[in-house]
Structure 1
Amino acid sequence: MRNITKIVTTTICSVSAIISIVLVDYSDEIRTSKQGLEIIGNAESCRNEPYYCPANILTVGIGSTSKVEQREYSNDEIARLWIMDIKEAEQCVNQNANGPKLPQSVFDATVSITFNVGCTKMKSSTMFKYLNSGNYQAACNELPRCNKSVGKVLNGLVIRREKERELCLLDLNSFQ
Structure 2
Amino acid sequence: MKLDENGYKLIASFEGLELEPYLCSANVPTIGYGNTFYPNGRKVTLKDHPITKAYAIEILRFVADLFAKDVSSLIKSKVTQNQFNTLVSFAYNVGTDIDADDIPEGLGDSTLLKMVNKNPNDKAIVAELLKWNKAKGKVVTGLTNRRIKEGQNYFIP
Quickly name the TM-score band, shorter chain normalised: 0.7 to 0.9
Identity %: 29
- In structure 2, the gaps of 5 or more residues are 98-105
CA distance in 1, matches of 2:134, 2:94: 10
Q: Letter of the 1:118 partner, please give it.
A: G
> 3-state DSSP class of the match of 1:60?
strand
CA distance in 2, matches of 1:141, 1:105: 17
> 3-state DSSP class of the match of 1:48?
strand
- Is the counterpart of residue 123 in structure 1 residue 101 in structure 2? no
- Which residue in the other structure is 2:137 paired with? 151
Deviations 1:62-86 (A, max 9, x none): 0111122510111221112111111
Q: How large is the RMSD of aligned CA atoms in angstroms?
A: 1.7
- Which residue in the other structure is 2:61 paired with? 83
- In structure 1, the gaps of 5 or more residues are 1-29, 172-176
Out of 50, 70, 73, the position equivalent to 1:92 is: 70
> 3-state DSSP class of the match of 1:71?
coil
CA distance in 2, matches of 1:38, 1:147: 21
Q: What is the TM-score with the length of structure 1 in the denominator? A: 0.74
CA distance in 2, matches of 1:135, 1:75: 35
Deviations 1:125-167 (A, max 9, x none): 0111112223432334311111101101011011100000001
Contact kept? 1:89, 1:119, Cα under 8 Å: yes
Deviations 1:11-57 (A, max 9, x none): xxxxxxxxxxxxxxxxxxx8323433333212211011111101111
CA distance in 2, matches of 1:115, 1:167: 15
Contact kept? 1:89, 1:114, Cα under 8 Å: yes
CA distance in 1, matches of 2:10, 2:59: 17
CA distance in 2, matches of 1:42, 1:94: 22
Contact kept? 2:91, 2:107, Cα under 8 Å: yes
- Which residue in the other structure is 1:36 paired with? 7
CA distance in 1, matches of 2:71, 2:126: 14
Aligned pair count reads 141
Stretch deviating more after TM superposition (70-79 or 115-124): 70-79
CA distance in 1, matches of 2:125, 2:34: 24
